[in-house]
Chains A and B, each alone.
Chain A
Amino acid sequence: MKRGKRVATESTNTSGAGTKGNGRIIAYALIALAAVLFALAIADGYESLAIHPMDQFEVAPLFGGEEIHWYTPTNVTLWMGLSIAAIAALMVMGTKGRAVIPSRSQSMAELAYGFIRKMVEDVAGKDALPYFPYIFTAFLFILAANFLGLLPSSFTPTSHFAVTVILALTVFLSVTTIGFVKNGAGFLSLFWVSSAPLALRPVLAIIELISYFVRPVSHSVRLAGAMMAGHAVLKVFAGFAGAMGLASIAPILGVVAIYGLEVLVSAIQAYVFTILTCVYLKDALHPHH
């Protein structure tokens, strides 16, 4: 309570000091950053100027060696483990107090819980709530992996098709199974648009069928593509910054802007993946148009 009050007064103080001070601090920070990068570029002796934007996606063994077996601990293991740690820190350590009046971390955990739970309930209906733990798992994993991937020199598991395809296929296969188990052959009425004229229905059925099987493709490529593109662009701009000496202030500003965009994209892609999962689940539980 006391700490919160102190922080609040501090923040009012800062805002009281005016935006002029903030702007100046940011400008100094940027100049300092540019100077450091410039120094680094000189120190490196221009040997690393070639831009390798895709290097950051390389899967490499953690403890040396060349072979990558299915069990080898790699950077994939490391960053997935870190996302487990981040999720555990938020959802388990953060809610340790079990307080009726929540702490900040508990409040965040509750907000995440309420957000996804409400999404599942609103989009897929009350009978989708048994699947909420898995949907929440997928959401938190994608969110944590996306955000951790924004740390400089980190690795982003969700930028790999291997990961997103498995995530999307899990959803696709389980949704299809649930659809047939819950509705039997009635699940096929998903493809038979009864509100359309009879002559059109076979055509629509083919279109619906194709779109149904394209779902896992778009579901997985969207996430991996968004993460990969953003990170690659960041790397390209950073490479420019290394190459341009003093003029590198321009690409650095570009990196800052794209980084802000990537923060947004990280959250939005996790959200999109989750809400599409809910939509597909809704189709499985209530296939009748």
Chain B
Amino acid sequence: MAEDAAHGAADAAHAAADAGPGMPQLDFATFPNQIFWLVVTLVAIYFILSRVALPRIASVLAERQGTLTNDLAAAEDLKRQAVEAEEAYNKALADARAEAQKIAEETRAGIQAELNDAIARADAEIAAKSAESEARIAEIRAGAIQSIEEVARDVAADVVGAVAPGQKVDADALAAAVAERVKG
């Protein structure tokens, strides 16, 4: 209330002084006061900002930028490491696969060689066996022919004895004749 009264009094005083349009903005008597305090205020804010706030914020922003850059670089590094690790893994895998292939190939070749060896040995054995059998067959055949001749000679001698009893048979001539007939 008291303030209101003071306001009213001041208002009245101003109105009396200026007889102006009642706009406090145009009361030039207060200009020096306002301008003085404005300058004080601006200087104060300017120094607060330029001495304390702006360097601090700038350093914080720079620090944040640095942290971001570092973190990004670290992430890049880790990514590169991961890629390298993957490459190493893939290479190891490929190597192992090649190695396995080689071992399999070698084993297969070894088995093949052994197999060939065994087959050759078996072939040789079979050949030997069959040659032996053939020899025996030839022998048996020869034996059989000889037996046939013998039997034929005996039969011929008996036949001659039966046809012409008491007739003396020339053994050599008979043998020759039988041999001739058997051959023919």
Closest B residue by C-beta to A84? B44
**A232–chain B nearest beta-carbon distance, Å:** 10
Nearest-neighbor residue (CB-CB) of B36 within chain A: A70
Contact A162 B45 (CB under 8 A): no
Complex contacts, B6 vs chain A, CB 8 Å: 60, 64
How far in angstroms is the closest Cβ of chain A from B52?
Answer: 5
Q: Determine if A58 and B45 form an interchain contact, defined as CB atoms under 8 angstroms apart.
A: no
Residues of B within 8 A of A248 (CB): none
Whether A133 contacts B64 by the Cβ 8 Å rule is no
**Which of the 9-residue segments A87-95, A266-274, A280-288 touches chain B?**
A87-95
Number of interface residues of A (CB under 8 A): 54
Q: A70 to chain B: which residues have CB within 8 Å?
A: 32-33, 35-36
B36 contacts A80, CB within 8 Å? Answer: no
Contact of B49 among A64, A74, A100, A137 (CB under 8 A): A137
- State the CA gap A150–B27 with chains docked (Å): 23
Give which listed residue, B30, B40, B41, B63, contacts A162 with CB less than 8 A: B30
Q: With a CB–CB cut-off of 8 A, which chain B residues contact A66?
A: 9-10, 13
B34 contacts A160, CB within 8 Å? yes
From B31, which residue of chain A is reached at the shortest CB distance?
A162
Chain A residues with CB below 8 A from B104, complex form? none
Are A161 and B25 within 8 A (Cβ)? yes
Q: A109 to B4, alpha carbons, bound, how many Å?
A: 38
Closest A-chain residue to B23, C-beta based? A54
User: Interface on B for A, CB 8 Å cutoff?
Assistant: 4, 6-7, 9-11, 13-14, 22-27, 29-42, 44-46, 48-50, 52-54, 56-57, 59-61, 63-64, 67
Given A58-B24, A160-B24, 15 extra CB contacts under 8 A? A58-B10, A68-B29, A68-B30, A70-B32, A71-B36, A74-B37, A76-B30, A91-B48, A91-B52, A92-B53, A95-B56, A100-B63, A141-B42, A157-B34, A161-B25
